[in-house]
Amino acid sequence: MPYELQDFVLSQTAGYGAIIRYGGDIPLLKRLVAGGFPVVTEKGYYTYDLTGRYGWLGHYQFVTGYDEAKGVLVVQDTYITKGENHEFPYAEFIAGWRSFDYLFLVVYPVEKEAQLLALLGDYADLDWSSGRALEIATQELSAMTGVEQYFAAFNAGTSHVYLKQYVDAAYAYDNAFQLYAGLPKDDLRPFRMLWYQTGPYFAYYYSGRYQDVINLANTTFDTVGDDVLEESWYWRGMAELALGSTDAAIADFRESVRLHPGFAPGLYQLSLMGITP
């Protein structure tokens, strides 16, 4: 998860900061790179996974340059073939970036923070960037069709979550999941979305829709099995606790910590209940 990358920088390095923002665009990436700040972006793409199955996956790419004459961004990517200084046309890059609400992370020396904030402009404000992401999602929702429209609808929900507008986020995710249900059941269907993005759990939980949290976690486990995804175990536990199923919640919190030793949210809930992991 991006927040884990950010937490690592802030807790495990000296003299570096890290910021996450949303709703980015190509001009912003070029401005940051030209100013000496390479950018980590989270993107979706289609490829074969380790089991040989073709489909949509999430992945990080490190943007280190661009060539305006060619209309490409230059990225470093350890997964794709010839990933060193790999060139992505702007439109192709945007298509992959869309599925993660145009999220980007910048790691920077703390003594250069003022320079970074100046380059970010309005994006320096987290709420502004979240609002910008919502504007983009709303525009693309009207303009796109098929799986791209689904990504836009999902992004609308995610942007509302960033703004702590949880009821609006829940309605947006409802729309996204309705669009998903109408997609062809083929390799282009991005069934792994909840492996990477947990916004729907926040939206449904903080809207009081606890059973929807449980249903979504169970559906997510159906895509991968129940021996991974500590976040899904945690959120199912939170919903079970809210519904009075304390023993089930304890079991799920314990499982989240077993899967991810040191997983702070799970440990915190267990500590509140006086339960050992």
- What is the CATH T-level fold of the domain 2-124, as seen in this structure? Cathepsin B; Chain A (3.90.70)
Residue of 63, 89, 67 lying closest to 76 (CA atoms): 63
Note the residue count of the chain: 277
- Residue 161 three-state SS: helix
The 10s digit of each residue's pLDDT in 3-32 is: 999 999 999 999 999 999 999 999 999 999
Q: What pTM did the predictor assign?
A: 0.93
pLDDT level of residue 276 (50, 70, 90 thresholds)? confident
Q: What is the CATH number of domain 144-272?
A: 1.25.40.10
What single letter denotes the amino acid at residue 11? S
Residue extents of the structural domains in the chain: 2-124, 144-272
Residue of 90, 59, 60 lying closest to 74 (CA atoms): 90
The 10s digit of each residue's pLDDT in 169-209 is: 999 999 999 999 999 988 889 989 999 999 999 999 999 99
Both tokens assigned to 252: 């799920």
Question: Sign of dihedral through CA atoms 247, 226, 260, 56?
Answer: negative
Q: Is the pLDDT of residue 97 over 80?
A: yes
Q: Is the pLDDT of residue 111 over 90?
A: yes
Please tell me the distance from the alpha carbon of residue 2 to that of residue 9, in angstroms, as a whole number. 11
* β-sheet bridge partners, residue 76: 62
Please tell me the distance from the alpha carbon of residue 2 to that of residue 61, in angstroms, as a whole number. 12
Strand duo 54-67 + 72-76: pairing: antiparallel
Strand duo 39-48 + 86-89: pairing: unpaired
